[in-house]
Amino acid sequence: AQSVTQPDIHITVSEGASLELRCNYSYGATPYLFWYVQSPGQGLQLLLKYFSGDTLVQGIKGFEAEFKRSQSSFNLRKPSVHWSDAAEYFCAVMVGNKLVFGAGTILRVKS
């Protein structure tokens, strides 16, 4: 079955440090991939998406993600984390006409 795995439940980084959140997917065809962010008690906001073409995609808030077919990965990165980036991050893959989400990674930022 198609699935999305986010191996890290929690990640803590220092403000100003770089960030990489991991996402692996299991899907036969070329996937449509997404990263969303959720602040506590709020809905999800789309950070970026990949459908085809350039494997490095830029998103909002300074985030980027790289699609690596050989590794079935779509990791999210940011060069310098700000305290306001503390939130939960979800990777998702479009399966047919539905989005399937990973379990999420909670990012904590320490000053």
Partner 1 sequence: DGGITQSPKYLFRKEGQNVTLSCEQNLNHDAMYWYRQDPGQGLRLIYYSQIVNDFQKGDIAEGYSVSREKKESFPLTVTSAQKNPTAFYLCASSFQQQTGGYTFGSGTRLTVV
Binding footprint of partner 1 on the chain (CB under 8 A): 9, 32, 34, 36, 41-46, 49, 51, 90, 94, 97-104
Per DSSP, the three-state class of 60 is helix
Minimum distance from CB of 56 to partner 1 (Å)? 18
Q: Which is nearer to partner 1, 36 or 81 (CB)?
A: 36
Most distant CA atoms of the chain, gap in Å? 42
Minimum distance from CB of 98 to partner 1 (Å)? 6
- Of 92, 39, 84, give the one whose Cα is nearest residue 65: 92
Q: Which is nearer to partner 1, 35 or 109 (CB)?
A: 35
Minimum distance from CB of 33 to partner 1 (Å)? 10
Minimum distance from CB of 16 to partner 1 (Å)? 29
Q: Find tokens 């036969």 and name the residue.
A: 28
Over 13-30, what HEC string results?
EECCCCEEECCEEECCCC
Q: Which is nearer to partner 1, 17 or 108 (CB)?
A: 108
Question: Residues 82, 88, 92, CA angle at the centre, nearest 5°?
Answer: 120
Q: Which is nearer to partner 1, 25 or 36 (CB)?
A: 36
